[in-house]
Structure 1
Amino acid sequence: MNEQETLSSPEDEIDLIDLVSVLLKRKWLIIGITGLSMIGALLFAVGSLLLPPETSYLPNEYTPKAHMMINDSSSSGGGMASMLASSGLGGLASLAGVNVASGSTYSALAVYLAGTNSFLDSVVDRFNLIERYKIEKSPRAESRKALKEKLSASMDDEAGVFTISFTDIDPAFAQEVVNYSVQYMEERFTEMGLDKNKLQKENLEANIQNTYNEILKLEAESQKLDRAAGMGQYTANGSSMVLEATRIKRELSAQEQVYTQLKTQYELLKVQMASESPVFQVLEYAEVPDQKSGPSRGMLCIIITFAAFFGSVFLVFVLNAWDNIKKDPLAMAKLSGGGSK
């Protein structure tokens, strides 16, 4: 061991003892500040629980979530680009960072849609958030900003699950906002025709129902004409009821063939859809949460207590330094402006 290390060790030990002595000298100041801060934090936390949520300065918040499966297996660059171009969102999506030229995904589109003004305005108007949040200045811009702070849309790339959540002091209200957002997204994906099978299924269901109604109508007319023909009646233009009944039966036969073809297509499509994953599929709607998501009052008390402790330690060193300065005439002279140059 060299001489320098031997000499430095006692000095380091003396410095450490001096620091401890300074802390022990004003230990009650440290204990007092830390204890009062801890008690104040506890009273602050308990007081926020005693007040109603609408008037509490630290109310409980609830965050319901809804989960959706986004199938990116068919979202190739060219197909995605054509879909977005036909829906009028190509340019906007590019500005938002969704590359429609190559490698675009439906999941990226879902995250983008959750931040569009049209979606935000729809939620704001549906739940009258401008009045709820008492926004007076720049209501449209400020309501969008307030909604973005409370509403979150995220994508788990590994699981392919898209999640929407909303935070509010009213759990039932938060659930309504989340489920409305899910319905909006589902309708938006349908409008853009991203899920062709689902759109085709809806069209087939509508055509089948219309054809079925037409068959019922023609059957009723055919029965009516058969009864009239049996009584030897004629139509208004003088033609035979038998001829009119025959024409109606031909139309009925044609409609029945159309109905059969539509039903066949519908059943085949159902089989195909059963073996494929839809682009947008709701896994779980939001429920009314019975457990708060925040704030963590216990963690807040811990943070305040530790901050008060370290703050009091710093204050003790400042006071000690000031005492040392007051004992040094030269230093006091410098502070008073009378020191030598």
Structure 2
Amino acid sequence: MNEEKNIDYSEISLIDLFAVLWHRKIIIIAITIIAIIGTVTFSIISIILPPETSPLPNQYTPTALMLINNSSSSNSGMASMLNSSGLGGLAGLAGVSTGSSFSDLAIYLVSTNSFLDAVVDEFGLIVRYKIEKFPRTESRKVLKKHLTASSEEKSGVFSFSFEDYDPVLAQKVVNFCMHYLESWFNELGIDKNKLERENLERNIENTFREIQNLEQESQKLGMSVTSGGAASIPSIALEQRRIALELGAQQQVYTQLKVQYELLKVTMASEKPVFQILEMAEIPDQKSGPGRGMICVIVTFAAGFFSVFLAFSLNAIDNVKKDPEAMAKLRGTHT
């Protein structure tokens, strides 16, 4: 009898393991089936409910693509540009050195509070995400979770993407971020050619408008000569000479500006711009997540493993209960 009680539990065969699983098969099957039914039900409910109240709504992730030319001739002036704009010290703390590329600078600018706050305020994300405590800090954290900016070093392609259950809002956020970053690049004066072109276009338009105004004044004076008296002719003649001189000067300025503008167009045609939009974000018609099928599979396997572990745990507890020596140790009466 004593030999039967001294069982060596360290030697366990596959048959013993299978016997334990077969003995606890009802628990294993029940837990697995409950997990499957629960996960499938949860998935169906998440689809039926509106996305605003769904615990697991469909997510949409539109993407916009931009080309950042890191080999531009303007790159040599990046250090002076950062220092003059006041971003030199902050960029250094963020790991963006003066020898870094414009792609690195773009990644840094996207993570700044100014950029994040502009997006939050534009689309009212504080109200949308129902943020009550620390609205600025928490809204930035939430936006960083949904907004993704990345750059491919070899191709120089910079991408923006935003994940949300509303595909229209997600598309608007991505395009806003893209245009905001482009305008920020322009304000920093990174692309010298583009900045000079905009200035020339503005000056050409103003000069042409001034020429039109002077021509209209000259016409009015000519009409006043025919209708006015002889006494007013000398003063009108002086005014006409003044207008003629100003008109000639403006015409010369206009000609010079047009020449500069055409030369700049030739230069820009031979150089790539620093920041170029390749593809605007579109409203996605296919969800990017969640993978409900994969969730069901993972939960099913997890429930199966848990039920097997529970079966062996219950079997071990039963074995301990059947061992008087082990029970005596647990009661503290073993001597």
Q: TM-score, normalised by structure 1?
A: 0.90
The one of 47, 53, 56 equivalent to 1:55 is 53
Report which stretch shifted further, 31-40 or 72-81: 72-81
Kept in 2, the 8 Å contact 1:83–1:193? The answer is yes
Over residues 163-196 of structure 1, what are the superposed CA-to-partner deviations in whole Å (9 max), with x where a residue is unaligned?
Answer: 1111111111111111111111011000000011
Q: Tell me how far 1:75 sits from its aligned partner.
A: 6.8
The SS at the match of 2:52 is: coil
- Counterparts of 1:110-149 in structure 2, within 5 Å, are 110-149=106-145
Residue equivalent to 1:308: 303
Does 1:152 pair with 2:148?
yes
**Distance of aligned partners of 1:184 and 1:29 in 2 relative to their CA distance in 1, 3 Å threshold:** same
Aligned to 2:40: 42
1:263 aligns with 2:258: yes
Matched residue type, 2:323: D
What stretches of structure 1 of length at least 5 have no aligned partner?
Answer: 1-10
1:284 and 2:279 aligned: yes
Given the alignment of the two structures, is residue 201 of structure 1 paired with residue 201 of structure 2, yes or no? no
1:205/1:175 CA distance change after superposition, 3 Å: same
Q: Does 1:167 align with 2:169?
A: no
- Given that 2:72 and 2:273 are in contact with CA atoms closer than 8 Å, whether structure 1 keeps it comes out as no
Q: CA deviation at 1:229?
A: 3.6
Question: After TM superposition, which residue ranges in structure 1, 4 or more long, deviate above 3 angstroms?
Answer: 11-14, 75-78, 227-236
Instruction: Name the count of aligned residue pairs.
Output: 327
Equivalent pair of 1:167/1:174 in contact (CA under 8 Å): yes
Contact 2:74 2:190 in 1 (8 A): no
- The separation in 1 between residues aligned to 2:12 and 2:319, in whole angstroms, is 17
Q: What is the letter of the counterpart of residue 179 of structure 1?
A: N
Identity of aligned residues (%): 63
Q: Does the CA-based 8 Å contact 1:235-1:241 persist in structure 2?
A: no
Cα separation, 2, equivalents of 1:22 and 1:137: 53
Q: Which residue of 2 aligns with 1:191?
A: 187
Give the alignment's TM-score, normalised by structure 2.
Answer: 0.92
Shift of 1:47: 0.9
Question: Contact 1:229–1:240 at 8 Å: present in 2 too?
Answer: no
Q: CA 1:73–1:283 in 2, change beyond 3 Å: closer, same or farther?
A: same
Secondary structure at the aligned position of 2:100 is classed as coil
In structure 2, what is the equivalent of residue 85 of structure 1? 83
Distance 2:234 2:170 in 1: 67
Indicate yes or no: 2:321 matched with 1:326.
yes
**1:37-66 CA distance string (max 9 Å, x none):** 112111110111111111111111111111
After superposition, what is the alpha-carbon deviation per residue over 1:67-105, rounded to whole angstroms, capped at 9, x for unaligned?
1111100378752110101111111111111012xx211
Residue ranges of structure 2 left out of the alignment (5+ in a row) = 1-8
Equivalent position of 2:176 in the other structure: 180
Show the counterpart of 2:94.
Answer: 96
Query: What corresponds to 2:66 in structure 1?
Result: 68
Displacement after TM superposition at 1:122 (Å): 1.0
1 CA distance for matches of 2:133 and 2:86? Answer: 31
Specify whether residues 75 and 113 from structure 1 end up closer, same or farther in structure 2 by C-alpha distance, changes over 3 A only. farther
Amino acid at match of 1:57: P
Verify the 8 A CA contact 1:77 1:104 in the aligned structure 2: no
1:7 is matched with none
CA RMSD of aligned residues (A): 2.1
Query: In the aligned structure 2, how far is the partner of 1:128 from the partner of 1:255?
Result: 48
Alignment equivalent of 1:219, drawn from 215, 218, 222? 215
**Which of 18, 21, 25 is the equivalent residue of 2:23?**
25
